[in-house]
Amino acid sequence: MQWRDVSDNWTAYIPRILTQWPGLNEAEVQSLDGDQDAFIDYLSKSKGEDRVAAQMELADWLMGGEPIDVTMDAQNDNAQIMSSAENVPAGEDTLSDDAKFGAENANATPVGRT
């Protein structure tokens, strides 16, 4: 994962960051607002280590994949919906009404019965 992704979805990543570094203060992490340099400084001060060690620790964490709870966070809903348009066949309007496929609230007649 890239820091840009973390920064763009900062509020969604905060629980993940606090799981990785449980000694951090949630309010202070929130106030960093995705600033990588500020986060490295805060991490190094809170752990009592030098900036390079904190930077390496962050780099190791970034080697992991994007967690599914971040991908599915509510702030990403619109992007997920818009990306689903890639699965709509050519020529079909992605925003068209799906009423022709049946009413969602009506009981369907079983196949072969009237």
The 10s digit of each residue's pLDDT in 2-56 is: 899 899 889 889 998 999 999 999 999 999 999 999 999 999 999 999 999 999 9
Is there a contact between 62 and 3 (Cβ–Cβ < 8 Å)?
yes
Is there a contact between 58 and 46 (Cβ–Cβ < 8 Å)?
no
Cα 18 from Cα 22, distance rounded (Å): 5
Q: Tell me the angle at which helices 36-47 and 51-62 cross, rounded to the nearest 10 degrees.
A: 120
pLDDT digits (tens, 9 = 90+) for 48-104: 999 999 999 999 999 887 766 666 666 667 777 777 777 777 777 767 766 666 556
